[in-house]
Amino acid sequence: MADSATDPDSRRPEEDEGQAAPDAAVQKALDKASRKRMLIGVGGTIIVLLIIFVVILPQFIDYEAVIDAFLSMELWQHGVLLVMMAVTWVVLGFQFRTTLPGLDIVSGTLAMIASLGVKGSIPGPMDTAFRFRLAVAYKYSVEESTLSAATIKALDWVARLLMPSIAVAILITSGQSIAGLEWLAILGVILSIGGIALLVGVIRSERLARWIGDKAQLIVGSLAKRFKRTAPGDLSARILGLRETGQSLVSTRGLLGLGLTLVIQAGYAVMLTLAMAFVGVDFDVLPVSVIWATLAIVYMLPIGPGLIELAYIFIFSLYLGRDNPMLAPASAGVMVFRVYQWLIPIPIGYALIAWWQKRDKFSLLSTDTAQIVPEASKPEPGG
The whole-number pLDDT of residue 375 equals: 37
The more confidently predicted of residues 234 and 357 is 357
Helices and strands (DSSP H and E) totals, the chain: 17, 0
The more confidently predicted of residues 343 and 212 is 343
Entry pTM: 0.73
Rounded to whole angstroms, what are the CA distances from 287 to 238, 290, 299? 38, 5, 19
The whole-number pLDDT of residue 46 equals: 78
The whole-number pLDDT of residue 88 equals: 96
CB atoms inside a 10 Å sphere around CB 191: 19
pLDDT tens across 211-222, in order? 877 777 777 677
Helical pair 142-174 and 182-204, crossing angle rounded to 10 deg: 140
Region of 333 (left: φ > 0; alpha: ψ -120 to 50; beta: rest) is alpha
DSSP string, 144-187: HHHHHHHHHHHHHHHHHHHHHHHHHHHHHHHT---TT-HHHHHH
